[in-house]
Structure 1
């Protein structure tokens, strides 16, 4: 069960609905980078990149890429009017100081308590942890965007993460191609279901226990 381009857009678009005017937002690599192009009309946020940009914009039009302008993942971006550049140490200081309102990250696994594993699979090559640990611990809200299951068809929404953790109990919201789940003190709350899936589909493909409220929203 892979995530096609349409589903990637839906996941990123749903994440963009969490943005509020004036927020400082950090986007991780993968699906999260798409959020910059899907900000709701009338909402103005400041995108932060840990390689030293405050005021990053969406992706450039084909042929208009600037080889010297990229996000932390090395992908070409644009900047908005009023954007500023800084040393990466200053960009990380903003994170550690708690200046990031929301970070939107990818994940390998998330537990029902909000534990996050997103930086390494043991035995496989890894480029480095980057800013994941600082962002997971210091951002005011952590949102995860990911496939609901891995390539083997196993749930990535776990009772307990099997992979090395990035941070404990940090994730507040999980958005997949199947559902939107909120981490609460009582457990993992199923808030919304993505069409064409059903409650039964989500429960069957989720290892973690889910709280099922009386009313669940269905997204087209």
Structure 2
């Protein structure tokens, strides 16, 4: 099942709960971009690889600034205290490990936390972007994605078949069906979203899943 607008926003809203006051957070292209709309009054500095620290919610329609966008080229706003710099400085912040969290999309994630999100062999892409360094250097990596691809195939797998962006880097996965954490040993099912069941999720996950004893269900 494809992600409709409401589901995409629901995933982003759930991800926003992981953001704590004072964090520096990078948001990837796609669903992660929506997270900025759900942080409320939490003091957080969103980072963009093209050279902005302190981005805010999406602008109202008709009030977009054509000179102000995120790394994906989508219009953004800024908050008081925001700063601008070149891409070299933006990546220096990433490489020095100053980002508390990055929230990215994915094509595949393995049960060990390997991330594949930059290329499908045979398809043209403009480049790998900043995901390679974000995935390796951010203190916490959260993935937001549809649980299955457009053909119904699981995107959470035992081993990635697509080229890996970074190995064993993912800490949490939030899909339209569930929330998982990934430890050094296992993929743990933490939450189940309505209308799915634990059995639905295990069926659509091509990896070994440990079900948390105190699992949260949202039925």
- Residue 127 of structure 1, CA deviation: 1.3
Counterpart of 2:13 in structure 1 is 13
In 1, Cα distance between equivalents of 2:116 and 2:184: 20
* Number of matched pairs: 219
Counterpart of 2:177 in structure 1 is 178
Counterpart of 2:26 in structure 1 is 26
Does residue 120 of structure 2 align to residue 121 of structure 1?
yes
In 2, Cα distance between equivalents of 1:42 and 1:133: 30
Counterpart of 2:4 in structure 1 is 4
- Residue 42 of structure 1, CA deviation: 4.0
- Residue 84 of structure 1, CA deviation: 0.5
Counterpart of 2:150 in structure 1 is 151
In 1, Cα distance between equivalents of 2:201 and 2:166: 25
In 2, Cα distance between equivalents of 1:213 and 1:20: 24
In 2, Cα distance between equivalents of 1:99 and 1:202: 35
In 2, Cα distance between equivalents of 1:148 and 1:23: 27
Secondary structure (helix, strand or coil) at the match of 1:213 reads: strand
What do residues 112-156 of structure 1 show as CA deviations (whole Å, max 9, x unaligned)? 000000000000011111101000000000000000000111000
Secondary structure (helix, strand or coil) at the match of 2:212 reads: coil
What do residues 188-210 of structure 1 show as CA deviations (whole Å, max 9, x unaligned)? 00000011100010000000110
In 2, Cα distance between equivalents of 1:213 and 1:28: 28
Runs of 4+ in 1 over 4 A off after TM superposition: none
Secondary structure (helix, strand or coil) at the match of 2:213 reads: coil
Q: Unaligned stretches of 5+ in structure 2?
A: none
In 2, Cα distance between equivalents of 1:44 and 1:201: 37
In 2, Cα distance between equivalents of 1:44 and 1:143: 19
Secondary structure (helix, strand or coil) at the match of 1:174 reads: strand
TM-score, length basis structure 1: 0.98
